[in-house]
A and B are shown apart, each in its own frame.
Chain A
Amino acid sequence: GAGVSQSPSNKVTEKGKDVELRCDPISGHTALYWYRQSLGQGLEFLIYFQGNSAPDKSGLPSDRFSAERTGGSVSTLTIQRTQQEDSAVYLCASSLSRTSGRAYNEQFFGPGTRLTVL
């Protein structure tokens, strides 16, 4: 079946411009996550959507970052007035919700969007 897809795969932008990154989760997955991975670094949590609940935005580094999820499926991460320190790979992941008998479900990651801010 189709996995998590992200677009674009690469984005080069100029400092100060706005960018939108898109994530298509696996069909049926109600949980969606955004992470940021700087070169050679770990996975930095940004935001988490679970069904129709209010998203957990606790990881967003500044108010220039925002995300929405339409219809419980596709999500868009928007970075306004991009800065050079925003350059990183932005990863999206999705998972099933907690189901009976399973305390957690594995996250399936997309290929990421490599953002370069000049």
Chain B
Amino acid sequence: QQPVQSPQAVILREGEDAVINCSSSKALYSVHWYRQKHGEAPVFLMILLKGGEQKGHDKISASFNEKKQQSSLYLTASQLSYSGTYFCGTADNNAGNMLTFGGGTRLMVKP
């Protein structure tokens, strides 16, 4: 079943912070985050494995709460280059590489 992302869309001013959530109805083994800019292919950001691991990538970090079956992506001091659609992909086992992607969160950062 597809994970649910929230919010569906968010508009920020440059320098503001944002949080994007990804929730699943199933127990998760891992959560992957991707960003897709308009007209381009999705690009990998980070993977989080069960264990409550928190990862970071520049000013973008994420957490994974396996008990709540959810992950959150934190964008700090947003830059214009952060604009795009963010997708979470989830896996409920460690048997392979297959992911189920959420519907995406459209982020627009304005000057």
Binding site for B on A (CB under 8 A): 4, 31, 33, 35, 41-45, 48, 50, 56, 91, 95, 97-98, 103-112
Contacts and interface: CB of A to CB of B under 8 A. Distances in A.
Contact of A97 (B43, B87, B97, B100): B97
Contacts of A45: 98-101
Interface residues of B, number: 25
Contacts, number: 66
B87 A42 contact: yes
A70 B39 CA distance: 29
Interface of B: 2, 29-30, 32, 34, 40-44, 47, 49, 87, 89, 91, 94, 96-104
B101 to A, nearest CB: 4
Contact of B97 (A31, A35, A43, A44): A31
Nearest to B88: A42
Given A43-B42, A91-B41, A95-B97, A104 B104 contact: no
